[in-house]
Amino acid sequence: MASAVTWFEIPCSDFERGRRFYETVLGVALVDTAAPGMKMASFPADWQKDEIGGALVAGQNLKPSVDGTTVYLRGDPDLQVVLDRVEAAGGGIVMPKTKIPMEGGGYFAQFIDSEGNRVGVTSMG
């Protein structure tokens, strides 16, 4: 198995606020995606290269949470750049940049996004 993860969704209570948060923090443009009964904007991913994709979603029964599964997003080349944007974009840092204690493991951190989700970020630098 190349990867256990194939897709992820991050729920938003305020879709446009959530979109602005992730576009600002990650420095990417999310792509509007058609989805029945919900709003969806996808993170950039190249399916032809087996990159894992995901999206912000808003709709009935989709609730942000700090409890439960944590999605980790790519923060290369240095996740500190991402973390430095979190508070200004309406989020908060809950775990600062931390070395992963294994050879070549890189770093990780966690933040609470503008919608109230706990999200992680990783990088090699």
Residue 63: inside a domain, yes or no? yes
pTM of the model: 0.92
- pLDDT tens, residue by residue, 9-24: 999 999 999 999 999 9
Residue 82 parent element (H or E): helix 79-86
- pLDDT tens, residue by residue, 92-102: 999 999 999 99
Judge whether 10 and 117 are in contact, CB under 8 Å: yes
Judge whether 116 and 109 are in contact, CB under 8 Å: no
Residue 1: inside a domain, yes or no? no
How many domains does one find in the chain?
Answer: 1
* CATH, residue 38: 3.10.180.10
How far is 39 from 41, CA to CA, in rounded Å? Answer: 7
Residue 24: inside a domain, yes or no? yes
